Chains A and B, each alone.
Chain A
Amino acid sequence: MKWGRFLAFLLMAVVIVGLTAGTVTTIWKSIPLGLDLKGGVDLLYSVETPKGQSLSTSAKQALLKAVELRVNSLGVSSPIIDLEGKNQAGQDQIRVQVAGVKNQQEAEQIIGATAQLAIYGSATMDKKTGQLVPQGKPLATGADLKSNAKWVVDQETGQNAVAIEFKNAQKWINITDKYVGKQIYVFLNGQLLTDPVIQEKMYNGQSEISGGSLSTPQACMALASELNAGALPYPLHLESLTSVGPTLGQTSLQRTMVAGLVAIIIIFVFMIWVYRLAGLIADLALVAYGYVTLLVFDGLHVVLTLSGLAALILGVGIAVDANIITYERIKDEMRNGRSLKSAVKVGNRNALRTIIDSNATTFIAGAVMYFFGGQGDVRGFAVALMVSIIVSLITAVLLSRLMLFSFTNSNVVRRPWWYGVGKGVLKEHEAKV
């Protein structure tokens, strides 16, 4: 028996169990649960469309998209956004429910300010306030810009600026052509931001805006992200704010949690029953999987919803599967007459290719769902699935392997029985020895 190897194995086991038992509750508590699991706030907005005008399907889509982008920029908080019937004033209403909001102020910021960027050709001094106010129709607005605005540092002046690009380059070319040598006025949310003089005609749709409040990188980044989120096509007016319970029901959830725990215990017992000590190693790796996944979720600020949990369960399946594939492979190798040690080594190697291919395929499915699934539930699921697969590769393959090797090489047990290798296999094997 090699004590060094065995101690290494024991150390890994103790670290996994210790870390998990010690910190998992803190991590679990810091992961915000979604609307369906924990509840959140319900915000009802009225859509301030021009009088007598109702929303067309395309306008609905544009509005919902703008709201979704603002509420769910990462795509992992799965808000519920619903259009509702008209209120007394005949305005359409939009209901937004989001999880993990703590106070009223935060709730009001969810939809956030609309960055109303407008470029005017002329402006006049307001006599009362002494400030410049725009005059006439804007030459261009934030709606004319591509959503790739970003913070840059101007090459020549070293100033912080926001790089913008026009959707229709010709529009900007025409403006600069018309206003060569003249001043234009850039207003942000009704405030004059900068009033540069157009030096020369531009030949592409790119430009930079700077000056005024845009002195810091933070201010530039904030403006860029607001511009990128797209202007809300219509102003929204907050009508009511209520806190709501979980859409799946409180008692229902407690029962589900308990049931989930029971299921995990059964899986643990099953693995030990079928694969004995190797099963125990798989269980340890599974604990590590759960722990690391939660850690990553916490780091990514993922709001955990039912679809996220579903991906986690699928991840448990994939992680267990990786171990089952490996252990069955080890059995196969022993059937082919290898010794225990060499079977463990070769079995692991052969199983790895299978596991990589199957997980890569599922990962691709997740990645595609992320890009094509739009915002909300589908994207939340995709993120959770991709995280689960990567973590399961690290824990159920790398970590599990490391533990299995150090345990096998420690020679603590020599009988293949401890790896769940049945009698039939054993006889064949021993006959060859």
Chain B
Amino acid sequence: MKPKFDIVRLSKWFFLLSSAITVAGLIFFAVFGFNLSTDFKAGSRIQFQVNQKVDDTKVRQMFQSVGLNIGDTGLTVGGIARNVAIVTLPGQLTPHQIQEIQNAEHKYFPDAKQGIQVDTVDPFVAQQTAHKAVWAILAAAAFIVIYVAIRFEFRFAIAGIIALLHDAFIVLSVFVLFRREIDLTFVAALLTIVGYSINDTIVIFDRIRENLKIDKPKDVESLREVVNKSLWQTMARSINTVFTVLVAAVILYFFGGVSIRNFTFALIIGLISGAYSSIFIASPIWVAWRSRSLPKKTVTDEVEVV
């Protein structure tokens, strides 16, 4: 693709944009915290058996009638005849609420013979899974640094990791800003985003590395030119690739099941951020860092003479 504008020169605006989203996310996080689903919070598990196959909407109406909202993933159907409804709700239920649910069950499912069975759920396991995921991502980042530092150079490694963490942060920020629920599927999405982000970044770094061998920039100005050229050379690929994966995520978001909407939403944000950060964050960071060891401008063109 032909260069349309100087990406490296405009990089401070991109840094600003990403920082703004992250800061806004942080402020919202400080004020409201994460909107955690029952996966991560202590909750209640309500189970009851009805006489026919469980009707999802009817169960949701029944809980709504007592002022309780079942989340997208809060309802599971059980039993061989699929006649057992299992509902998970955040927080502990008061005895009064349990009585209300019991009454509502009689009203909505008069044939049901058994009463409701209420258990409290300890979020211990899900929390551990989330902790493990965080550790796994950090450990993965450390090993990626080592590999990229060997294959490329240390500065590329750090720039790539910053882009990777940037994407994770952006997704978290957007979830906080939109008050989206963070559930266990979010963990899977985050892992996917990390995988995509680093893959996407390395492809661009590879082109920069290749062009550096050809052009051998001796000053900041020519270094910027080389990187800008590399970014535009890989632009068609960047756009086409992110388009194909985004198409899948967007279609799954709008036409797929409601219960994976949080997951696909995280994917959409993460894919956009991943593609964006490879071009507009990772590469400029590398330029800024690499520039520090180069003179601003070579005085003459003696380089070419040699």
Residues of A within 8 A of B (CB): 39, 42, 60-61, 64, 80-85, 93, 242-256, 258-260, 262-264, 266-267, 270-271, 274, 306-307, 310-311, 313-314, 316-318, 320-321, 324-325, 328, 331-332, 350, 353-354, 357-362, 364-369, 371-374, 376-378, 381-382, 385
Is the beta-carbon distance between B248 and A267 smaller than 8 angstroms? yes
Chain B residues 206 to 262 lying within 8 A of chain A, measured CB to CB, are 206-207, 210, 233-234, 236-237, 240-241, 243-245, 247-249, 251-252, 254-260
* Given contact pairs A270-B247, A324-B240, A245 touches B82 in the complex (Cβ within 8 A): yes
Q: Is B99 an interface residue (CB 8 A)?
A: no
Interface residue from B119, B125, B160, B241 paired with A81 (Cβ < 8 Å)? B125
Give Cα distance in the complex from A298 to B280, angstroms: 41
Main DSSP-derived SS at the B contact region: helix
Q: Which residues of A contact B15 (CB under 8 A)?
A: none
Distance A138 CA – B166 CA, assembled complex (angstroms): 55
Residues from chain A with a CB closer than 8 A to the CB of B56 are 249, 251
Supplied contacts A256-B256, A270-B244, A357-B202, 13 more A-B pairs, CB within 8 Å: A249-B257, A250-B77, A252-B260, A307-B187, A313-B245, A314-B195, A328-B237, A360-B147, A361-B148, A365-B195, A369-B140, A373-B136, A382-B136
Contact B139 A368 (CB under 8 A): yes
Task: Given the known inter-chain contacts A365-B140, A366-B195, A378-B132, please indicate yes or no for A244 contacting B77, CB distance below 8 A.
Answer: yes
27 A-B pairs (CB sep. < 8 Å): A39-B78, A64-B125, A82-B122, A84-B122, A243-B79, A245-B77, A249-B56, A255-B257, A260-B248, A260-B256, A262-B251, A263-B251, A307-B187, A314-B196, A321-B237, A357-B152, A357-B206, A358-B206, A365-B140, A368-B142, A369-B137, A372-B132, A374-B129, A377-B129, A377-B187, A378-B129, A385-B195
Q: Which residue of A lies closest to B245 (CB)?
A: A317
Chain B residue with the shortest CB-CB distance to A320: B244
Give the distance in Å from the alpha carbon of A310 to the alpha carbon of B195 in the complex.
Answer: 11
Contact B247 A266 (CB under 8 A): yes
- B76-112 at interface with A (beta carbon < 8 Å): 76-80, 82, 84, 86
Contacts of A377 in B (CB 8 A): 129, 133, 184, 187-188
The distance from the CB of A286 to the nearest CB of chain B, in whole angstroms, is: 10
Known contacts A361-B202, A362-B198: A248-B147 contact under CB 8 Å:
no
Choose among B160, B192, B243 the residue with the greatest number of A CB atoms under 10 Å from its CB: B192
Min CB–CB distance B129 → chain A (angstroms): 6
CB pair A361–B147 under 8 Å, yes or no, is yes
Nearest chain-A residue to B122 (Cβ)? A83
The chain B residues found within 8 Å of chain A, CB to CB, are: 45, 56, 73, 75-80, 82, 84, 86, 119-122, 124-125, 128-129, 132-133, 135-137, 139-140, 142-144, 147-148, 151-152, 160, 184-185, 187-189, 191-192, 194-196, 198-200, 202-203, 206-207, 210, 233-234, 236-237, 240-241, 243-245, 247-249, 251-252, 254-260, 263, 267
* B79, chain A: closest CB distance, angstroms: 6
Distance between Cα atoms of A321 and B200 in the complex (Å): 9
A175 to B230, CA, bound (A): 69
Question: What A residues does B122 contact at CB under 8 A?
Answer: 82-85
Smallest Cβ-Cβ distance to B82: which chain A residue: A245
Contact B203 A358 (CB under 8 A): yes
CB distance from A171 to the nearest CB of B (A): 31
> Are B248 and A264 interface neighbours, CB within 8 A?
yes
- What CA separation (Å) do A252 and B255 show in the bound complex? 10
Q: B256 touching A310 by the CB < 8 A rule? A: no
- Closest chain-A Cβ to B45's Cβ sits at a distance in Å of 7
B121:A82 contact, CB within 8 angstroms = yes
A316: B residues at CB distance < 8 A: 245, 248
Q: Nearest residue in B to A350 (C-beta to C-beta)? A: B210
Shortest CB distance B209–A (Å): 9
- CB-CB under 8 A from B84, the residues of chain A are 242, 244
Q: How far is the CA of A310 from the CA of B245 in the complex (A)?
A: 11
Contact check, A243 vs B198: say whether CB atoms are below 8 A apart.
no
